[in-house]
Structure 1
Amino acid sequence: TLLEGYGATETSPVISVNTHEFNRPGSTGKVLPNIQVRIENFETGKDCAPREIGKIMVKGPSVMNGYYDDPEQTAEVLKDGWYNTGDMGYFDEDGYLFHAGRFKRFAKIGGEMVSLVKVENILEKYLPQGVSCCVVEIMDEKKGSYIVATVSREVNKTEILRKMMNDLPVIALPRQFLVIDNLPMMGTGKIDFRTVTKMVQEIMNSQGSGN
């Protein structure tokens, strides 16, 4: 029997787990003893109600004190002992924790939370064979956040967007397509979306607008 759990290296590493006695399919189980988990509202910072998705925050003796020789990164994820996992999730009414994706791979577009992974998966369906892609959020002070799709070679953007409209709302469609021949990769073999985001932001800044 497979029983799902949830954790992070920074939490040594388990946070919650399903057991034979207490389990709920689709959840990551109940939080372990001596560990505190709260679901924080994205905007207000207050605790979320049951089934309301927010940031997963963790506190307890198993949470790290910080990253070695990196106070800036530590300050980004630790505040008053609470570790910001970078993940989104929610509790149900019975206290089972559900994981809802990585917060860093979500974008707030027009007041709505859009999954960049979902947009990426839809885009991949319609790309020619052998074309890689990475979808990122770009911030624009005047026009707000918008989505940019990077692809490893030129594609028929009009045709692809037309097909994507069957699967996604208009706010989730990429506003721009950029060609980056060699998309940066991580050691795991996955595209490094953080580096891609920086590259795209620099390109947008150099163009002076998001048009």
Structure 2
Amino acid sequence: MTKSIRITNASGRDGSAQFISPKRDAPISLGIPGHSILFHRYLSSTETGRGEVLTKSLGDDYAQALIDGDPEIDIEHVGRSIGETNIVFLTSKGEFLHSPPKIIEVITGPDGGEKERRDPIDVESNVDEERPIRWTGRKVPIADAVRRFMFRRSLQVTHVDGVTYDFLHAMAKELAADRTLMLVGGGAKGSEPLVFQANGRPCRGFLEGRVDGEKYQLMLHLSDMELKRPVSVKEN
């Protein structure tokens, strides 16, 4: 995936760039060397094997019935190979929904407790060719960042011409020399989290620079979770 963006440096100057997904190592091969593995899906149960259905027909204590007669197994269907599937929504009674359900957004606190329920709010993307990703000036040592933040994704920022090569190489060189990550953000002051697509997940952005002579690598690490030590509860 390649997307054109704008990004600022420490002086506030912005330039065009692109981000791409970094190359990944080839996955480890499973199975016997020289032989490929094929994965298949098979039907394990049908509607008649649901716990609610068995309770209605056999009562709450149907363990012995399962041992004696296997009533949960539909001989005609269980074990059949499954091809393409479609997602369907069910009501609390197990019936098909023929119209889209109403989506409710549940807001939870750090302790996991529910704080608020509301209708979903549309979130606009703020990463594109017009609104730059802004260099905030806040540096975080790499050793601290890997302990404070949960990084869910990394992107590589690349140049589009010779001018932006010098622009990005200088940024990567500065960060590599300090062994730090630079916090970047969206909006006019860089104080907003980065949102790459409409209604996407807001993330903090951290730039990391790696330099080897004329070669450079400028990585944008994305985090949506900060790790904090739980507050100890005082014993009464």
TM-score when normalising by structure 1:
0.21
Q: Which has the higher helix share?
A: 1
Return the index of the structure with the highest Cα Rg.
2
Larger relative contact order (Cα-Cα within 8 Å, sequence gap ≥ 6)? 2
TM-score when normalising by structure 2:
0.19
